[in-house]
Amino acid sequence: MSHIVVVGAGQAGSSLVAKLRAEGFDGEVTLIGVEPVPPYQRPPLSKAYLLGDMTKERLYLRPAEFYADQNITLRTSVRVTGIDPVAKIVTLEGSEEIAYDQLAFTTGSHPNTLPAAIGGTLDKVYTVRDLQDADAMAPHFQAGKRALILGGGYIGLEAAAVAAKKGVAVTLVEMGERILQRVACAQTSDYFRALHSDHGVDIRESTGLARLIGDGAVTGAEFTDGTTLDVDFVIVGVGIKPASVLAEASGIEMAAGGIGTDAFGRTNDPSIWAAGDCASLPYRGTQLRLESVQNAIDQAEAVARNMLGAETEYRAKPWFWSDQYDVKLQIAGLNIGYDNIVVRAGDKDGSVSHWYFRGDVLLAVDAMNDPRNYMIGKRLIEAGKSPAAAAIADPETDMKGLLSA
């Protein structure tokens, strides 16, 4: 009987094994994860779960019984330490071996950390990647505490919003010229800077960390501009790197920093596949990694079908969201290479969307509390339609009408 082994029991791993069964695969399926819990969703870790508005059980992607019911062997609390692609054997911590016919890497990514030399290993310095991280930092989210957040990307900003809501005095430091610089236009940065300022968050851009201060636990920080700050805890949100070391050590080719795959999700070894944060896929003539729930699910499902012989190319349709205070940001498309931004006010107070163009081509939309224009933008991008920038900018334009134009 054929055996499919999936390494990494997160969003992509869970979707992949579920899809194998949904497609009728009746061979052996093993899903292996180092975390002690069944696969769960990570977005609430910096949103509702961190705020205390969501229970642990609601994080689980599927009920724990699902795996047994589907005859899927879920191995938790165990790390895969080696792959022998010639003998087709996976080695687990403790040297247990499992033979496979096909294997998928869904190992996700690791948060970047600060070097020990600048205080990165002091107590009360946290990253936000897994349930353990969220559980460890949540007790500090109390009125009167002082938090330093390093990094003005989505995770840092979401953690800042939760902390501020809890009455924590928050300072957020961003090394780049502006928050969200890597992922969004200046207009979107301006929107979120103003939102956080309105909630009392002290955002300091173009400011680097010189070192964290403390004896055992962190008590302060010194910045590159020479200023210092007293703090009770620190959250480091300075990006992630793909968990690709295991694949690389097994001789799998890397691309764009992740596990290189073709459009089917297959690596250079025809029996080995990859999906989710760790995978680098072809996209408009280049290879890139996408760090989002939607990609983890869609790519994993495509890989499951292709493992069973479908030979269907995965075409990423990027979308992403972020929740901060009462604002829901929805993003459709990928803005890489944009050279023009069009701002469109929404129908409701405070709702607005930012439209990214490269020349005449519509690339992406950021919509703040504007689900209607988000949906219109998403459908236009997916259909490959590019309305004129002037039409988007014109308040008289019937936006829905653009879909049929």
Ligand X SMILES: Cc1cc2nc3c(=O)[nH]c(=O)nc-3n(C[C@H](O)[C@H](O)[C@H](O)COP(=O)(O)OP(=O)(O)OC[C@H]3O[C@@H](n4cnc5c(N)ncnc54)[C@H](O)[C@@H]3O)c2cc1C
Binding site for ligand X (CB under 6 A): 7-13, 32-35, 42-43, 45-46, 79-80, 106-108, 128-129, 155, 243, 246, 276-278, 291-294, 296, 320-322
Beta carbon of residue 231, minimum distance to ligand X (angstroms, whole number): 20
Supply the DSSP string of 69-120, one letter for each residue.
Answer: HTTEEEE-S--EEEEETTTTEEEETTS-EEE-SEEEE---EEE----GGGTT
Closer Cβ to ligand X, 185 or 303, answer by number:
303
Beta carbon of residue 195, minimum distance to ligand X (angstroms, whole number): 16
Beta carbon of residue 8, minimum distance to ligand X (angstroms, whole number): 3
Q: Which residue, judged by CB position, is nearest to ligand X in the bound state?
A: 10
Backbone dihedral angles phi then psi of residue 384, each to the nearest 5 degrees: 70, 25
Closer Cβ to ligand X, 291 or 298, answer by number:
291
Cα separations in angstroms, 49 against 60, 130, 143, 159, 230: 12, 11, 18, 11, 27
- Cβ neighbors of 299 (< 8 A, separation 6 or more) are 12, 265, 275, 276, 279, 281, 290, 314, 316
Beta carbon of residue 216, minimum distance to ligand X (angstroms, whole number): 26
Q: What residue type is 347 in one-letter code?
A: D
Closer Cβ to ligand X, 131 or 213, answer by number:
131
Beta carbon of residue 44, minimum distance to ligand X (angstroms, whole number): 8
The closest alpha carbon to 9, from 77, 99, 58, 83, belongs to: 77
Closer Cβ to ligand X, 18 or 80, answer by number:
80
Beta carbon of residue 264, minimum distance to ligand X (angstroms, whole number): 17
Do the Cβ atoms of 351 and 370 come closer than 8 Å?
yes
Q: How far is CA 131 from the centre of its chain?
A: 14
Beta carbon of residue 318, minimum distance to ligand X (angstroms, whole number): 9
Closer Cβ to ligand X, 72 or 399, answer by number:
72
Rounded-to-integer distance, Cα 238 and Cα 20, Å: 35
DSSP 8-state class, residue 399? T
Beta carbon of residue 129, minimum distance to ligand X (angstroms, whole number): 5
Closer Cβ to ligand X, 76 or 181, answer by number:
76
Closer Cβ to ligand X, 254 or 403, answer by number:
254
CA atoms within 13 A on the CB side of 275: 35
Q: Give burial (CB, 10 Å; 0-12/13-18/19+) of 76.
A: middle
SS3 content of the chain, % helix, strand, coil (to 5): 25, 30, 40
Beta carbon of residue 292, minimum distance to ligand X (angstroms, whole number): 3
Rounded-to-integer distance, Cα 205 and Cα 223, Å: 11
Closer Cβ to ligand X, 320 or 355, answer by number:
320
Closer Cβ to ligand X, 79 or 204, answer by number:
79
Cα separations in angstroms, 76 against 44, 192, 245, 303: 21, 38, 20, 22
Closer Cβ to ligand X, 45 or 402, answer by number:
45
CB atoms inside a 10 Å sphere around CB 285? 5
The closest alpha carbon to 40, from 77, 15, 3, belongs to: 15
Q: How far is CA 247 from the centre of its chain?
A: 20
Beta carbon of residue 303, minimum distance to ligand X (angstroms, whole number): 11
